[in-house]
């Protein structure tokens, strides 16, 4: 297991290198430098700025020095927010985004798993159709539509909850977390239903039932562990999706998090910030994919033995 993890970790290094390389050259291939502003800036000033950001060097040299910086964890200065580094900006935005993602994930897991398990216990009855139709609605209702609708209903018409901000007024974290979590609750419901149905038809479940175990024991102790493997394997990609979703949700609810920074950086053409955040996001996503894969393997004895057999 440890060897496997180490191997996967080593494999992700070339992937990260590719990400950094593609992003770097994409950003540097943009016509017009980052300082070609609307106002006419004296050429000396641009020269000085370019020297400050090493833009006067050949591209490959900039690339190598950037790589060197990234290895030491330094993502460089921001073009737009003078005096601030990309690291500082990421550190400023991360807490809100992490908290939002955590709540969304908790909502998604608790609602998704219970809906999926309920549906799988009595397939093709109302107990199956209702949650699964709900899940389909969740999937077909993108966050940028659900969020504003929730704001309209609960924030404006009913006036129950605040419609923007993060941690300023009590309750302002509710709507964003629900908005971000809903789609994943829906996916998780479908995955856990499918996984449970597959497991529930297997022999060891019949054995457990034949032993006279209560249905709660059969489901809770024997079926869940195998049935939820698809959900666990989905957590990695879901995390990547949550980051993307946070672009929208943080914009709608005006949350000062990473997603909003990224979108703003995109509009401001703050290339070093985009580059740095892309590297940061990619690292996170690769790590989370690794974690969720490991967890899925740990839960599945068959895969576990395969890996141990290989090494």
Measured from the CB atom, is 107 or 273 closer to another protein? 273
Should residue 164 be labelled a site residue for another protein when binding is judged by CB under 8 A? no
Should residue 100 be labelled a site residue for another protein when binding is judged by CB under 8 A? no
What token pair was written down for 171?
């309750």
What token pair was written down for 47?
């020269």
Should residue 121 be labelled a site residue for another protein when binding is judged by CB under 8 A? no
Within the chain, where are the H helices? 2-28, 43-52, 59-71, 86-121, 126-140, 143-150, 174-200, 203-210, 215-217, 224-227, 229-252, 258-268, 271-299, 301-310
**Window 18-47: contact mask with another protein (x via CB under 8 A):** xx--xx--xx-xx-----------------
Should residue 292 be labelled a site residue for another protein when binding is judged by CB under 8 A? no
Cβ contacts of 169 within 8 Å, gap of 6 or more: 162
Q: Pick the closest to residue 93 from 257, 277, 265, 266 (CA basis).
A: 257
DSSP 164-204: S-SSSSTTTTHHHHHHHHHHHHHHHHHHHHHHHHHHHTSHH
Q: How far is the CB of 37 from another protein (least distance, A)?
A: 17
Should residue 187 be labelled a site residue for another protein when binding is judged by CB under 8 A? no
Q: How far is the CB of 172 from another protein (least distance, A)?
A: 18
Q: In this chain, which of 154, 247, 253, 261 binds another protein, going by CB under 8 A?
A: 247
Cβ contacts of 154 within 8 Å, gap of 6 or more: 160, 161, 175
**Window 201-240: contact mask with another protein (x via CB under 8 A):** ---------------------------------------x
- Cα dihedral 258, 261, 267, 273, rounded to 10, equals -90
Measured from the CB atom, is 113 or 151 closer to another protein? 151
Q: In this chain, which of 1, 106, 152, 169 binds another protein, going by CB under 8 A?
A: 152
Write out the binding residues for another protein, residues 59-88 only, by CB under 8 A. none
Should residue 102 be labelled a site residue for another protein when binding is judged by CB under 8 A? no
* Angle subtended at Cα 9 by Cα 8 and Cα 13, rounded to the nearest 5 degrees: 110
For the chain, how far is it from start to end, CA to CA, in angstroms?
9
Binding site for another protein (CB under 8 A): 12, 14-15, 18-19, 22-23, 26-27, 29-30, 136-137, 139-142, 144-145, 148-149, 151-152, 156, 240-241, 243-244, 247-248, 251-252, 262-263, 266-267, 269, 274, 277-278, 281-282, 285-286, 289
């Amino acid at each position: 297991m440890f060897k496997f993890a180490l191997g996967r970790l080593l494999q992700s290094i070339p992937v990260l290198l590719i990400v950094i390389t593609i992003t770097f050259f994409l950003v540097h291939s943009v016509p017009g430098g980052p300082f070609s502003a609307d106002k006419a800036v004296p050429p000396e000033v641009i020269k000085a700025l370019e020297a400050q950001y090493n833009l006067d060097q050949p591209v490959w040299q900039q690339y190598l020095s950037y790589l060197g910086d990234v290895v030491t964890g330094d993502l460089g200065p921001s073009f737009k927010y003078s005096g601030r580094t990309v690291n500082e900006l990421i550190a400023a935005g991360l807490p809100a985004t992490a908290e939002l993602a955590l709540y969304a994930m908790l909502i998604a897991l608790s609602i998704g798993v219970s809906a999926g398990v309920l549906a799988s216990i009595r397939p093709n009855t109302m107990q199956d159709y209702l949650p699964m139709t709900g899940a389909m609605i969740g999937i077909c209702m993108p966050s940028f539509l659900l969020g504003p609708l929730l704001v309209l209903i609960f924030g404006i018409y009913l006036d129950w909850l605040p419609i923007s901000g993060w941690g300023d007024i009590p309750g302002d974290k509710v709507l964003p977390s629900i908005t971000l979590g809903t789609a994943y609750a829906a996916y998780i419901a479908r995955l856990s239903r499918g996984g449970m149905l597959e497991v529930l038809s297997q022999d060891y479940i019949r054995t457990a039932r034949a032993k006279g175990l209560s249905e709660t024991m059969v489901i809770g102790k024997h079926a869940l562990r195998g049935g939820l493997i698809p959900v666990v394997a989905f957590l990695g990609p879901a995390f990547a999706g949550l980051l993307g979703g946070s672009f929208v949700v943080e914009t709608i609810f005006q949350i000062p998090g990473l997603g909003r920074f990224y979108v703003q950086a995109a509009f401001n053409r703050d290339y070093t910030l985009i580059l740095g955040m892309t590297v940061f996001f990619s690292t996170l996503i690769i790590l989370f994919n690794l974690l969720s894969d490991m967890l899925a393997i740990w839960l599945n004895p068959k895969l576990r033995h395969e890996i141990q057999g290989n090494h």
